Amino acid sequence: MAENNVSKTKKLFTVCGLVVLALGIILYFAKAPMGLNRKIYDLPIFLIIIGLGFACKGFMMKPGAKELELSKKSFGEFLTNNAILLAMLVLVIVICILQPRFMQIRVALDILTQSSTKLIMALGICFTLLIAGTDLSAGRMVGLASVVSASMLQTATYANRFFPDLPQVQLWMPILIAIVACMIFGALNGFLVAKYDMHPFIATLAVQVIIYGACSLYFDMPPNNSQPIGGIRPDFAQLGQMRLFAGIYQGFPGISILIPIALVICVIIWFVLNKTVFGKNVYAIGGNREAAVVAGINVFRNIMGIFILASCLYGIAGVLEAARTAGATNNYGNGYELDAIAACVVGGVSLSGGIGKVGGIVMGVLIFTIIQYGLQFINVSPMWQQVIKGVIIAVAVAIDLTKYRRK
Amino acid sequence: MRKVFILALTFLLVFSFTASADEIKIGSCIYRFNDAFMLRFRNAMSAESEKLGAKIEHADGQDNQITQNEQIDKFIADGVKVLIVNPVDRMSSQLIIDKAKAANIPVVFINREPPEEILNSYEKAYYVGAKAEESGTEAGQIIADYFKANPAADKNHDGKIQFVLLKGQNGHQDMILRSKYSVEAIKNAGIEPVEIASAIANWDKLQAMQIMNAFTMAIGPENIEAVIANNDEMALGAVEALKNSDYNKGDKNFYIPVVGVDANASALDAMNKGEMLGTVLNDSDNQGAAAVKLAYALASGGDVKSIGYEITDNKYIWIPYQKVTRGENK
């Protein structure tokens, strides 16, 4: 009986996938003769990708895997467990109908590009959430890193240079300085939390204010005097704006370099969390701190490590943000930490510590970016965007908590 | 007796031109230090004070009216002879005027214009600034001039300008007037403006870039004929977004004219590279000098009519805006 069920599930996935795939291929060839080019844009390609995904999942399904039970109860459970994802899908469909241009490969790539820096932030902040803490200084660290790196990477001919006499230094030097500056503040975060057992909320709040003040002092130094930093060197701007494989076929906009950067960092963080002693310690401290101490884990060293690693990631995000916009002010990154925390929570990271996966965080960030981008795309008022964002966070956490209560 | 003493002292100061311990102290309240425009304004005021031999002290309102009110109280307690105020919230100017009136010191408002009836409630209250509508008008004229000189800029050949509008902080006077008058100027030049999209980007480069990115994708860059931004930072954000769609990189066939307001260093740089069409200079140097000269004359009992600026309605000094387009800056 069970075997029969599994093969049913497998069949379902495979058949659905192949149907979508076939539909995609038909549309791909039919859209030009039918005059649908300006109506469905790249929809066929998306269908092909989705179809292939489902079909592959069906093929790869091992016998004995969890069976898909089709009943009213399981359907209801499925709806509540994936409410946010489904709401996003509905929104995407509505947007596609209102504004068919949404169905373009370049839009999908643009969303991934915008997700990249957010993902790096979220991966950093998830460490602090995993030990039942938080990090309010993350956004200001982004500002610090962007100002520090941009200030040393201006073209020689720019009229309003931050350091008028600075030679054209190697690209990596200012970037390293910016990231190290963040890591110093990260160490301060960790020290306050680990040494004095301060709640991370208050420790990082204090550090946040310090960073903003310090960054503003730096930004206000003569001759810059708080002017937005511009005249960014092209080689630095390329770091955030370069596009790979641009034009390999007609009209392909290219993949932003930010996407592979975020992917590499994602893999590294996954490795750190799942395959290293440090990663296991993070979960252990988050799950039960007393037990971790009894088990002989050096809590001080691990907490220091967590905050320094997190600040390193914020530093990277800040540098990329400066490169992407070819500019910086001390207001960059303002409020990013809350977006990152929200994305983590929507992605299933528990605020009480010990629970959270890299895959979930990626999902959380993507859901947030797609919704935000989509609402912007159909020109929804920013005030409504705020309301919708808040509702998503509340609903996501509510669902998560009911899930754990059931267990 | 005290008045006579102060008057004598002032005369002594004016005629001797020496800075003494009793030099004229000016208290200047800036809405927020971290604002490129107000920074140049602040520097111009400091330079002019030095020239006149007055002492000026600036306070950072941190974009918070309550903080600014406290700073005004502190300045009055410190015995400043005149206040220069760049209000955080122009609708709160009544409170500022009441404070100045109680202390019987003149107050010169700058950059953000208090409502007329509030300004009229105190005979020693003045305003130095530019007419915000003028900046909008000139930005619109830059676009209209460009269309007349380049017929190809009308991409769909309908004789209208399809534009995107990037607006500053919601409710800000400059945002309202610049948005309105830039569109009006295009109309007055005989071309019909059509707004295809607009959004509030809070004067911010990053926000403007993300919004413009979504707009270019949603509308298609080939359907956008102009971008009008309420300030340069937002215009530069729009430029970065357009470059992301391979526009404004030097190829004339892939170009959308972008205008801003402020003429800051980054905007001039972008204009030299041909990425941005033009901007409007809000003449902060002139405004700063005028504000300090007026404040100095008021505090020293000098003649406000002889400071070299025309005073309208006994209340206002208007400093005109200047258009800056590519090639006009060095």
- State the 10-residue block means of pLDDT for chain A, 407 residues long: 60 84 86 75 86 83 64 78 84 90 88 94 95 94 96 90 90 96 97 94 96 93 84 92 83 88 96 95 90 91 96 97 92 90 90 89 93 87 86 85 68
Query: Strands B25-30 and B82-85, how do they pair?
Result: parallel
Question: Average pLDDT, stretch B33-60?
Answer: 89
User: Cβ A230–B214 below 8 Å, yes or no?
Assistant: no
Q: Is the ipTM of this complex over 0.85?
A: no
Q: How many CA atoms lie within 13 A of A259 on its CB side?
A: 14
Q: Given pLDDT bands bounded at 50, 70 and 90, which one contains residue B2?
A: low
Task: Write down the pTM of the prediction.
Answer: 0.81
The partner residue sitting opposite A226, judged by closest CB among B33, B218, B270, is B33
The partner residue sitting opposite B39, judged by closest CB among A99, A225, A378, is A225
Contact between residue A257 and residue A244 where contact means Cβ atoms under 8 Å apart: yes
User: Cβ B210–A376 below 8 Å, yes or no?
Assistant: yes
Question: Average pLDDT, stretch B6-26?
Answer: 61
Does the pLDDT value for residue B190 go beyond 90?
yes
Q: Which residues of A touch B237 (CB under 8 A)?
A: 325
Does the pLDDT value for residue B210 go beyond 50?
yes
- Does the CA dihedral B233-B114-B132-B109 come out positive or negative? negative
Residue in A with minimal Cα distance to B213: A110
pLDDT at A66: 62
pLDDT at B178: 93
Q: Which residues of B touch A326 (CB under 8 A)?
A: 240
**Is B273's Cβ below 8 Å from some Cβ in A?**
no
Distance CA A63, CA A59 (A): 11
pLDDT at A24: 87
Q: Which residues of A touch B269 (CB under 8 A)?
A: 158-159, 230-231
Q: Which residues of A touch B210 (CB under 8 A)?
A: 114, 376
Tokens of B169: 């902080």
Distance CA B234, CA B237 (A): 5
Does the pLDDT value for residue B234 go beyond 60?
yes
Does the pLDDT value for residue B327 go beyond 80?
no
Question: Average pLDDT, stretch B270-278?
Answer: 92
Q: How many CA atoms lie within 13 A of B14 on its CB side?
A: 15
**Is B245's Cβ below 8 Å from some Cβ in A?**
yes
pLDDT at B21: 47
User: Cβ A158–B245 below 8 Å, yes or no?
Assistant: no
Distance CA B72, CA A229 (A): 31
pLDDT at B304: 85
Task: List residues of chain A with CB under 8 Å from any CB of chain B.
Answer: 99, 101-102, 104, 106-107, 110, 114, 158-160, 216, 219-220, 225-228, 230-231, 241, 253, 321, 324-327, 329-332, 373, 376-379, 382
**Is B265's Cβ below 8 Å from some Cβ in A?**
yes
Q: CB under 8 Å to B59, separation ≥6 — which residues?
A: B27, B28, B29, B30, B68, B71, B74, B75
